[in-house]
Amino acid sequence: MNGIAKTFVLMAVMTALFMGIGGMVGGTSGIVIALLIAAGMNVFAWWNSDKMVLRYYRAKQVDESTAPDLYNMVRQMADNAELPMPKVYIIENDQPNAFATGRNPDNASVAATTGLLRRLDAGEVAGVMAHELAHVKNRDTLVMTITATMAGAISMLANFAMFFGARDSRLRLLGTLAVAISAPIPAPDVQLAISRAREYEADRVGAEICGRPEWLASALEKIAGKAKVIDNNAAERNPSTAHMFIINPLHMHAVDGLFSTHPKTEERVRRLRAMIRA
């Protein structure tokens, strides 16, 4: 299933879930209101989810004059991948990490943290950018970004239940509890939508884009080591965005395991180094 088809399936599942809980809370009226909310959110997420994620992480767009080394590196990797030049962003965060976003290659963005640019050498940064462009080339970014935007959406129905629930207080309480119980459901959605196989494939294609698998292998080892000891507070506050990063940015809370969609770094490195030997 390609990225666009998987996105439509994800939207349909989320819409059905909204309608089911809306019906539980408010009967027929609840279903209609939930459908309208879900439809509006789906349309908004399709066109604006990438901007929302970049805004959430306070990413700043850069160009050839403000960040020439990074910008020119991304341009070279995009040329190697035969992709349009994406927008380039930098996130002020000491944890080395990066992600890509956008609904298609013509509307793609790549973002790197200041920690990545400080702690990795030029070849390793190139490997990371090549990996992110591989996600763009494989059209993974649409599903990744919309999933991040919608993953916490069901919790909004708690307020819906509170203010627009059934007149029967017991039923309203039941609806609120149902919302609370259903709120973690997007976590498995993330794992289904963004499979570990996609990360392996992005590693493989990224290694081909940059031409040096060892650059990406070394980068993954460094990022994984630093991510264990350097906080990414923004990601910790919104763990449903964790799957977007090249390495899981979470380590502070036990619930983070629910959002662990990344393969083991050791296995990713092993596969990359097998490419080197080959």
User: Which residues are known catalytic residues?
Assistant: 132
3-state secondary structure the chain: CCHHHHHHHHHHHHHHHHHHHHHHHHHHHHHHHHHHHHHHHHHHHHHHHHHHHHHHCCCEEECCCCCHHHHHHHHHHHHHHCCCCCEEEEECCCCCCEEEECCCHHHCEEEEEHHHHHHCCHHHHHHHHHHHHHHHHCCCHHHHHHHHHHCCHHHHHHHHHHHHCCCCHHHHHHHHHHHHHHCCCHHHHHHHHCCHHHHHHHHHHHHHHHCCHHHHHHHHHHHHHHHCCCCCHHHHHCHHHHHHECCCCCCCCHHHHHHCCCCCHHHHHHHHHHHHHC
Q: In degrees rounded to 5, what are phi and psi of residue 242?
A: -60, -35
> Judging by DSSP bridges, how do beta strands 98-101 and 109-113 pair with one another?
antiparallel
Rounded-to-integer distance, Cα 50 and Cα 195, Å = 20
Alpha-carbon distance of 232 to 144, in angstroms, equals 19
Tell me the C-alpha distance between 182 and 175, whole Å: 10
